Amino acid sequence: MSNGKNDKAAKVRRYVTLTLFVIGLALIFLSLAAEFIGLDITPGFGVVQMLQLLIGISALTLALF
């Protein structure tokens, strides 16, 4: 009976890990490629891009932890 709970917990953990990993990669890609995509608001590497990069790195760190 407890094996079913472990399977469910493992599925949730895999889903959360995969979600955080994908979100982290997407945020890092968007922050580093914003100028090429045309999403840059300020010239250079702005505050919003820095925030996106830091949140993306944090999401990757949580996913891989």
* pLDDT > 90? residue 43: no
How far apart are alpha carbons 39 and 58 in whole angstroms? Answer: 22
Contact 10, 40 (CB under 8 A): no
Average pLDDT taken over every residue of the chain: 87
How far apart are alpha carbons 60 and 30 in whole angstroms? 14
- For residue 1, what pLDDT is reported? 52
**How much is the pTM?**
0.77
Do 49 and 34 form a contact (C-beta atoms < 8 A)?
Answer: yes
Burial class for 56, CB neighbours closer than 10 Å (0-12, 13-18, 19+): buried
Q: Where are the domains of the chain?
A: 2-64
